[in-house]
């Protein structure tokens, strides 16, 4: 008997999305095997954020389906998806500004009702995830007082504390130094080795070059090419999409 391939974590089938008379996503389809880090790139207006919002339940598709480990989740709410093990970060971090960094992460550790740990265990997990993102020494700092890049890391630690099976990262490395990107990439690779599946988008290529197994290039709501990061960075379709020279290109105002 032939060996089976990896289990499919996420499958997106022919997703369409319209805003008025504008088509934002056109029959977008792809699959993400469990244990892979998949990158998503594209210029402003490509449809990246809309696709992330649909997968994570924040927007509804006009057509198409989304499956999570074989179960259709197209109409699920963000709360339902979080309980099932699908988590995400946002371009603008969604954290509690009045709480400390540690309290924010503790909220994540305490979130899943079906596997809620003891309070002492949740405290240990908050320390663990803050240490992983390099913020343990700032654990008592109010989140509002942290720079934006560190607020992104607080949100990352918070969602990791929910123990997801799939994590969507939306521009997580925006504003990071090259050294910080490399440290983040090493941490994400370690999480992947521990069984986490990741889908991440980055307007620039720095993080994806470091960590992605495969990259999808999206332009005008369509996947135009996919492959290893090194093969895409100089691909003519990708270059022309970023330079705005693809035939018929139009800016729909969505990132």
In the prediction, which pLDDT does 45 show? 83
| Mean pLDDT score, 230-240 | 82
pLDDT band, very low/low/confident/very high, at 135 (cuts 50, 70, 90) = very high
**Lowest-pLDDT range of 95-109, 131-145, 195-209:** 195-209
Would you say the pTM of this structure is higher than 0.85? yes
**pLDDT band of 190, cuts 50, 70, 90:** very high
CB 46 within 8 A of CB 33: no
Percent of the chain with pLDDT over 90: 70
Give the closest residue to 213 by CA, choosing from 225, 203, 199, 223. Answer: 199
Output the pLDDT for position 232. Answer: 83
197-202: average pLDDT: 94
Positive/negative CA dihedral, 222, 231, 40, 197:
positive
3-state DSSP: the chain helix, strand, coil percent, rounded to 5? 35, 25, 40
Quote the CA–CA distance of 126 and 107 in Å, as a whole number: 9
pLDDT at 184: 92
Tell me what pLDDT residue 119 has. 83
CA–CA separation, 27 and 41 (whole Å): 17
Report the pLDDT value the prediction gives residue 112, as an integer from 0 to 100: 62
* Cα dihedral: 116, 120, 124, 127 (round 10): 100
Interval 201-230 mean pLDDT: 89
Instruction: Give the count of beta carbons closer than 10 Å to the beta carbon of residue 114.
Output: 6
What are 87-130's pLDDT values in tens digits? 999 999 999 999 999 999 999 988 765 667 778 888 999 999 99
Closest CA to 70 of 151, 10, 140, 15: 10
Which CATH number does the domain 7-85+165-255 belong to among 3.90.1150.10, 3.40.1080.10, 3.90.400.10, 3.40.50.300? 3.40.50.300
Which has the closest alpha carbon to 185: 133, 230, 130, 126?
133
pLDDT at 252: 44
65 CB burial (10 A radius; 0-12, 13-18, 19+): middle
Asked whether residue 230 carries a pLDDT value surpassing 90, the answer given is no
Handedness of CA 13, 198, 254, 97 (dihedral sign): positive
Q: Is the pLDDT of residue 86 over 80?
A: yes
Listed by start position, the domains of the chain span 7-85+165-255, 96-163
């Amino acid at each position: 008997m032939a060996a089976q391939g990896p289990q499919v974590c996420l499958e997106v089938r022919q997703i369409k999305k319209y805003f008025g008379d504008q088509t934002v996503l056109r029959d977008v389809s792809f699959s993400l095997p469990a244990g892979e880090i998949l990158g998503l790139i594209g210029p402003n207006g490509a449809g990246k954020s809309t696709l992330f919002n649909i997968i994570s339940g924040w927007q509804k598709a006009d057509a198409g389906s989304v499956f999570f480990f074989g179960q259709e989740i197209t109409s699920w709410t963000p709360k339902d998806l979080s309980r099932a093990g699908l988590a995400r970060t946002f371009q603008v971090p969604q954290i509690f500004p009045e709480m400390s960094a540690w309290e924010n992460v503790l909220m994540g550790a305490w979130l899943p009702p079906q596997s809620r740990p003891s309070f002492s265990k949740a405290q240990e997990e908050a320390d663990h995830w803050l240490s992983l993102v390099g913020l343990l020494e700032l654990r008592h700092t109010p989140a509002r007082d942290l720079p934006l890049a560190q607020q992104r890391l607080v949100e990352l630690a918070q969602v990791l504390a929910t123990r997801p099976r799939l994590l969507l990262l939306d521009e997580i490395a925006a504003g990071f130094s090259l050294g910080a990107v490399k440290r983040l990439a090493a941490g994400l690779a370690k999480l992947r080795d521990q069984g986490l599946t990741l889908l991440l988008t980055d307007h620039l290529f720095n993080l994806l070059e470091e960590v992605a197994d495969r990259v999808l290039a999206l332009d005008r709501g369509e996947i135009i090419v996919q492959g290893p990061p090194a093969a895409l960075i100089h691909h003519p379709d990708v270059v022309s999409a970023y330079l705005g020279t693809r035939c018929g290109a139009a800016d729909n105002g969505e990132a």
